[in-house]
Structure 1
C-alpha cells in the first residue's frame, strides 16, 4: 500500500509547532501539540520532514518525565531512545528508504523481549535480565522504522488485571490516580492515554490488551490468535497469549497492523448500513454497573441513529462457560509455560527461584489458582479444552447464521475500580469477584482466539472511561478494523485526562 495513502491525515494538526520544532525553539505550549498527535499524524510529519525524529522523541520523553506519578514506565532510557531517533534522522537525510513507522517512538510492555533494554516481566528476580534478542513483533516494528521508547510497567508476570505491581509499584489511571488502569498491560495504556506516546505494544492472555484500553479511554486490538508473531513474549498458556496495540485512534491500530503483517492494502471505514452488528443481552449485559449500562445503551442509540444495522441476536449458551474455560486453561498451564519460557530465553533463573521473590499479591493468587492442590486436575483441563473447541465451532456457526460482522457488548461490568481491590469489588451493592467484574465479558475472545476491538463509549458521571468490545469471527481483523473506523466517529473519543 502506498505510504501516503495510509498516512493521509495531515500534519496541519500540529500547525506552527512543527516549524518551531525544526528551529529548535519549541515553547512548552507547542510541545503539547506534538504529544497530542496520533501515530498516523506523527508518522506523516516525520516522513515528510516536518518534524525531526529527535525533536518528536524529546517531546514524548519530556512528557513521560513530567508524569512520574503514573508509574507507566519501568525502564525509560532517554539516551537509547534519542540515539535511535538520530539514526532515523540520518537515514532520512541520506535519502534512505523510510519505513511505515518512520521515527515513531513506541512504548513496549515489559513482558515483551527487547535486547537493548532489560525485560523484567514485572518481577524482581528478572529486573536486570537482558534477553538475547528482540521479540518478533519488536523486530517487525523496528524494521518498519519504529523506535523502542522504553518498557512499560505491568501486573507482575502478567498474572492479574490491576497492574498493581508489588515490586515496581502500581500503575495509576491517568483519569483518576486512585484507580487502576487495567491490566496486565496497564503501563502501556496509561502512557498512551497520558500523551506520552500515541501507540504502544500490549499483550493479552485474558483481557490484558482490552481491559487497559477500556479503562483508559483507548482503542485496542486483540487480533485473531496467531496474526502477530508471539516469539519472545512471556506466555501464560500455549493457546491464548497474543500481542497487540493500544492507541488513541483506530487509524493507528490499522497502521500497527499494516506494519506487523506487511499487508498494506488501503483500508477505509466500513459502510455502516451494509454491515450487521449483533447484540446478545444474556450474559454480556447482565449485572452491569449503572454508569456502564447507561453509556453502553446510549452508544447503541447513537450507532442506530447513524444508520448502523444493530440487531438483537442471542449468542449460543456455551459462551457463558468462557470464564470457566479461560480460568481452567490458564491456571493449569501458567507455571509450565513460564518455566519453559525462562529456559528457552536463557534467563539464568528457574521458575522456583524467580517465584521466591514474587510479591505477595501475585504469590497469593498464583497459589490459589495455579499450584496444587488448587490447580485444576488433568481431567478438568481436558474438559476445558473440549469445551473450548465446541465454543469455537458454535460461535463460528452463530456468525455464519446471523450474518453479523461483530458481536457488541460492554467490555467490563464496572468502571475502573480503586487500586488495592485485588480480589473483590462492589457492583450494585453486591460484592463480586474482580475477575467477573472486569474480565467476564472478555473471556470469549481469549477462548475462541477471535479478533476483538475495544472502542471508548464515553466517561461516567465521575469522569472514568468505559469501553465497548466488538468481537468478530476468526480472521476478520481487517473487517473489524474497518468497522471500527466507521464507528469511532459516531461514538466519539473521550477527552484527554486532566494531568
Structure 2
C-alpha cells in the first residue's frame, strides 16, 4: 500500500485528499518511508519525517480547499526556504537559514503546499552531473552507479524514486531538462520571467529560471497554475500540430539508445496526427556560442555577491569562493576573478547583438514553417558513471562531459524560451528524454501540446 501511495501523481493525490479517500498524514508517512528506503541515493539534503508529517497536517487544516491541499513538494537546495537550510550545495552556506522564503515557495505555501525537503544538486548549480564534492554525489534511481544529471539532480532523483510527487529545480542551461531525461521524469523550463525569481541563489539573471519536475505533464501544469494563476490550456490530440525537426546539431552523434528511442517517439507522434517537418537553425549557432557561456560567466561573479548581500550578509563572496569544494565549479568561478575574465565589451555584444539575432532567427523559423514547437532528443546520450566529470564515452570516443550534455538544451535559455522534456517509452534500458521547445511566452500552449504528446507516446 505504501508503494502505491508513493506512486500517485500530484493531481491524483490532491483529488483523493479533497474527496476524503486519502489521509494527508498517511500520504506523508508513505513518502517518509520511501525516503528512508532510498536514502542511499543522496537525493535529499535536508529532510525530517516528523517535520514533514506535522507540516502536512497543518497545511491541510489551513488550506483544505487550496490547489495543493497539503501536498508535499521537494525544492532544490538553492531556493530559499525558512523551514530548511539553503546551501546551494556549497561549503560556506551549509546550515544557512534565509529570513524569507523565495517567491516560488510563497506561492506553493499559499496554495496549501508544503516544502517537505531540500534536494541535492551540483555545487552552486554550475554543472550537469550533481557529483558534489561538498555534499556528496546524487545517484540515479535507475542505476546508483550513474549520474542523475544536473544541476537539479536531487529533485529529479527524488521524483523518479517516488519520494515526492512534485519538485522545484532551476534551469540555466538545461538543469531541469537534463536530469529529467536521465532519470525518466518530466522536466519543465518555463519562459524566462514566468515564475518569480527572488530568493534563488543565482548564476545568471539573464538565463536563470525556476523550473519543475513531476512524473506526468498534468502535475507540471498543476504547478504552473499555482505559479501563474492561469488555467491550464487543454489539447485532446495532436491533430493539426506542426513540429519542427532541427536535424543539424540536435540529431548528430547520438548514443544508439537515444537515437532508437527518439525515432520511436517521433513515429508515435506522427501516428497521432502531428506533422513533422525538417527545419534548419544552422544560422543561430555562432550567435549562441558568443552568448551562452560568456553571459553566464560574466554574470555569476556579479549576481552571487548581490544574493549574499541580501540573503546571507554574514557570508562574504571571498568566503563563498574559498568554500567551493568541487574542482569544476572552482575552475569556472576562478576563471572570472583574473585576467581571463569575460570582458565587458564581449558581454555587451552578447546582449545587444547576439541575443536579438538568435531571437530573430528562431522566430523566423517558427513563422516560416508555421510551427507549434521544435522537437529533439533532450540529451545526446543516456546517464554515464559518476566520476566522469571531465569526459564521457560516446560512440567509442571520449567527449567533454559538460558541453556534450547541454548541447541540445542550451538554446532555450539563450532566448528565454520554454522547453519540456518527456520520457520516451522504453521496454528496457536507461531513460531517454525527448524535448519540445516553443516560442517565448507560449508556455500554456506548450504544456497542452506536451500533454497530448505524452498520451500519444504511451500508445
* TM-score, scaled relative to structure 2: 0.96
Question: 1:164·1:171 contact (CA, 8 Å) conserved in 2?
Answer: yes
How far off is 1:309 after superposition?
Answer: 1.3
**Secondary structure of 1:273's match?**
coil
1:87 is matched with which residue? 58
User: Within the alignment, does 1:40 sit opposite 2:11 as a pair?
Assistant: yes
- Within the candidate set 331, 334, 337, 2:297 is matched to 331
RMSD between superposed Cα atoms in Å? 1.7
Question: 2:60·2:112 contact (CA, 8 Å) conserved in 1?
Answer: no
1:53 is matched with which residue? 24
Question: 1:270·1:479 contact (CA, 8 Å) conserved in 2?
Answer: no
CA 1:395–1:211: 2 relative to 1, 3 Å: same
Question: 2:269·2:453 contact (CA, 8 Å) conserved in 1?
Answer: yes
- Within the candidate set 336, 357, 367, 1:390 is matched to 357
How far off is 1:106 after superposition?
Answer: 0.3
How far off is 1:369 after superposition?
Answer: 4.3
User: Within the alignment, does 1:154 sit opposite 2:126 as a pair?
Assistant: no
CA 1:42–1:111: 2 relative to 1, 3 Å: same
The whole-number CA distance in structure 2 between the counterparts of 1:270 and 1:223 is: 22
- Within the candidate set 223, 244, 254, 1:288 is matched to 254
Question: 1:456·1:491 contact (CA, 8 Å) conserved in 2?
Answer: no
1:252 is matched with which residue? 219
How far off is 1:189 after superposition?
Answer: 0.3
2:404 is matched with which residue? 437
Gaps (5+ residues) in structure 1? 1-29, 494-499
How far off is 1:77 after superposition?
Answer: 2.2
How far off is 1:370 after superposition?
Answer: 3.3
1:12 is matched with which residue? none
**Secondary structure of 2:247's match?**
coil
2:183 is matched with which residue? 216
**Secondary structure of 1:404's match?**
coil
1:278 is matched with which residue? 244
The whole-number CA distance in structure 1 between the counterparts of 2:412 and 2:12 is: 30
The whole-number CA distance in structure 1 between the counterparts of 2:402 and 2:59 is: 43
Question: 1:234·1:338 contact (CA, 8 Å) conserved in 2?
Answer: yes
**Secondary structure of 1:142's match?**
helix
The whole-number CA distance in structure 2 between the counterparts of 1:199 and 1:367 is: 31
How far off is 1:416 after superposition?
Answer: 1.0
CA 1:184–1:360: 2 relative to 1, 3 Å: closer
The whole-number CA distance in structure 1 between the counterparts of 2:263 and 2:289 is: 24
2:204 is matched with which residue? 237
Greater shift, 165-174 or 309-318, is seen at 309-318
Question: 1:453·1:484 contact (CA, 8 Å) conserved in 2?
Answer: yes
User: Within the alignment, does 1:126 sit opposite 2:97 as a pair?
Assistant: no
Task: After superposition, give the CA deviation of every residue in 1:301-320 in whole Å (9 maximum; x if it has no partner).
Answer: 11112221111122252146
- Equivalent runs, 1:34-433 vs 2, <5 Å: 34-91=5-62, 98-264=65-231, 266-319=232-285, 321-367=287-333, 369-385=335-351, 386-433=353-400
Task: After superposition, give the CA deviation of every residue in 1:277-320 in whole Å (9 maximum; x if it has no partner).
Answer: 11011111111111111211121111112221111122252146
1:18 is matched with which residue? none
How far off is 1:330 after superposition?
Answer: 0.6
Gaps (5+ residues) in structure 2? none
Question: 2:290·2:354 contact (CA, 8 Å) conserved in 1?
Answer: no
Question: 2:241·2:273 contact (CA, 8 Å) conserved in 1?
Answer: no
CA 1:367–1:86: 2 relative to 1, 3 Å: closer
The whole-number CA distance in structure 1 between the counterparts of 2:420 and 2:7 is: 22
**Secondary structure of 1:192's match?**
helix
Task: After superposition, give the CA deviation of every residue in 1:39-65 in whole Å (9 maximum; x if it has no partner).
Answer: 010010111121121111111011001
How far off is 1:380 after superposition?
Answer: 2.3
The whole-number CA distance in structure 2 between the counterparts of 1:374 and 1:457 is: 42
The whole-number CA distance in structure 1 between the counterparts of 2:397 and 2:78 is: 34
**Secondary structure of 2:379's match?**
coil
The whole-number CA distance in structure 1 between the counterparts of 2:257 and 2:335 is: 31
The whole-number CA distance in structure 1 between the counterparts of 2:284 and 2:361 is: 8
* TM-score, scaled relative to structure 1: 0.89
The whole-number CA distance in structure 2 between the counterparts of 1:333 and 1:104 is: 35
**Secondary structure of 2:363's match?**
helix
Question: 2:121·2:153 contact (CA, 8 Å) conserved in 1?
Answer: yes
Task: After superposition, give the CA deviation of every residue in 1:391-419 in whole Å (9 maximum; x if it has no partner).
Answer: 01221122122110100011111111111
CA 1:471–1:154: 2 relative to 1, 3 Å: same
1:5 is matched with which residue? none
The whole-number CA distance in structure 2 between the counterparts of 1:197 and 1:282 is: 37
How far off is 1:453 after superposition?
Answer: 0.9
- Within the candidate set 436, 439, 443, 1:477 is matched to 443
How far off is 1:202 after superposition?
Answer: 0.7
